[in-house]
Structures are given as structure tokens and as C-alpha cells.
Amino acid sequence: MNDTGILLETGTNELEILEFFIDSQGEGEKPPERHFFGVNVAKVMEVIESPELEPQPGAAHPSFRGLIPLRRHILPVIDLAVWLNIDKAASPCENVIITEFSKTVTGFVVSGVTGIHRVGWPEVIPPDGYMPKTGVQAIIGLVEREGHFIQLLDLETIIADLSPAEIDFDAPPSTVAPNEIKALVADDSATIRLMLQKTLERSGITPTITSNGQEALDSLRAMADRAKAEDRPLSDFVDILISDIEMPLMDGFTLTKFVKTHPILRTLPVVLYSSIITDELRHKGESVGADLQIAKPDLERLPEVAVRLVSETTV
């Protein structure tokens, strides 16, 4: 499915989402309810009918439903309803959404698939202060379509919960900046922001943290205006931009496009990272002028990359 040519023009601040649903059983006098969710189409390989899978006794997590073969892959299948704590209604025909991101291929069991929608990131309502009915924090935003809300799922949070990766912050950093480097960081995940802050600071890089592309662009414009007004170099305020790609309000592609066409900001090195960065999709970041792109599993390389790009810029 990731060969559908989505977002032919990168930097339009849009994405396409696959909408699916999970039907819950009624409790007492409460009627059954349909919960609508969405994921970025760029992460979806295909949708198949669910084979007969049973809960696995002794599994590390109760949502694990077993392994299935799919061409060259043997992939784990996760019952999304179990992870989301939804009491799913029985269905004679369920679907498995096969995803590929962060160098992993995973299947997610859902009640059914509705369709694909093209969405502008400004339409995505950030989940600040919103506690979904499912009681989890894996919702990156909400989109209203046809009289109901679609909850956009952060699949990386689910995978990280099932297979947590530990970073040893007590170990000496592999890279230390020879001089102070000021980085502006944009990410909508509080967990990733905290991880990046620790990773950068221990390498001598001072991060300014923002929670989406629009907030990052506002900060960068203010820095550029101040640099111009005070006749100072931009490097007095910021040396590098480090940004996630998928964010509410403004994505990393659009942010990069604005930066690289700004008369003052255009010399700023930009590093984009995402779970959807693959050899097939890398051209999207290149088309908007990103200096370097990193897959999320390789985020520990950010200090090394930042030091190198900043040194090349100042030569």
C-alpha cells in the first residue's frame, strides 16, 4: 500500500490515513460502541483477512496473538483491542493491518477497515488535555470525519510498550560537541522530547524544545527577526533544526520547506527523523531540502550527526 504515490508533492502539510474501527461489546444497559482509529498510510503494507489466531498462553503481553507468515516475513500479530483495553465484540471476519515502520513489520488485528482519507495536518486536533475513552496515551490527535472523530494512533508507542528499548544514560556519550551547539527540536511526543533532551544535553548540545512544526517555525522566525534587527548571525540563536516528520498543525516536511526558502533561515542545517523514513520514502525529505534523515531506531546517532553538520556549516 505504500506504493500508492501518496503526497506526490511533499511539503503540502497533508497526509493520508487509513481509517479502521474496533467494535466493543455492550456492558449492562450500555449499547455496543464503534471506536474509530487511523494510521498513516505510509506505514501500511496491506490489509488482510485475519487468520484464526488464538491468545498465546505465557506470551509476554496478552495482546500477542501469534506469528503469521507473509511472503518473506514471519511477523507478530497484536490484538489492538487488547492493548487499547477495549472489550471487543466477537466478529466472524476481522482484518489484520500489516504495517512496516521503524525497521519492523507487525500485524494489528482490528474489527474492520473503513477507507482512506486525505487530511491536512492543521485539521488534526492535538490531544492536549484529552483522555481517550480507551484510557491510553497513544493518541497523537483527532480528526473529525462524517460526524465522528477518528483517533490517530501512535503505533510506535505500542511497539515500544511491547518491546521497550533502553538507553543507558549513565554510559559516557559517544560524541561530545567541541563547542556549544544550540538545537531547536520539534516533536509532538512528550516521551521522545524528554529522550532527545537527555541525549543531546549529555553530548554538550543545548536543545530548545517545541511540540509541533508550527511552534518550531514561530520560534525560528522570531530568532531570524532578532538576528536581523540586532545585526547578529543566526548562529547566535540556533545552530541546527532537529524535527520529527509526523506532527499536528505542521509536519516536518512543511517545516523544512519553510526553513529552506526563508532568506535568513535557509542556511540552517535540518535533520528529519521518523519511523517512516525508508529508502523508498527518503526522496520526500530530500525534495524539501533536509540535510539528513534518520529513522527513529537510530536516534542515538543525533549528537554525532548534529556535530558534523554544524561543523560543516561553519567551515
As a whole-number percent, the residues of the chain with pLDDT over 70 amount to 88
CA–CA gap between residue 270 and residue 286 (Å, rounded): 11
> Which position has the grid cell 486536533?
125
The mean pLDDT value of the chain amounts to 87
Q: What is the pLDDT of residue 6?
A: 41
Widest pairwise Cα distance in the chain: 70
Beta bridge partners, 153, equal 139
Q: pLDDT tens digit string along 162-210? A: 876 556 666 778 888 989 999 999 998 888 898 899 999 999 999 999 9
Q: What is the pLDDT of residue 181?
A: 95
> Which position has the grid cell 466493543?
24
Residue 59 in this model has a pLDDT that exceeds 80? no
Residue 18 in this model has a pLDDT that exceeds 50? yes
Residues 14-162, CATH architecture: Beta Barrel (2.40)
Cβ burial, residue 116 (10 Å; 0-12/13-18/19+): middle
Residue 8 in this model has a pLDDT that exceeds 60? no
Dihedral (Cα; 108, 109, 115, 120), 10-degree rounding: -40
For residue 17, which of 34, 29, 4, 35 has the smallest C-alpha distance? 4
**Domain ranges for the chain:** 14-162, 181-314
What is the end-to-end Cα distance of the chain in Å, rounded?
A: 43
As a whole-number percent, the residues of the chain with pLDDT over 90 amount to 54
Fold of 181-314: Rossmann fold (3.40.50)
Q: pLDDT tens digit string along 106-135? A: 999 999 999 999 999 999 987 764 444 444
pTM exceeds 0.85, yes or no: no
Q: Is 43 helix (H, G, I), strand (E, B) or coil?
A: helix
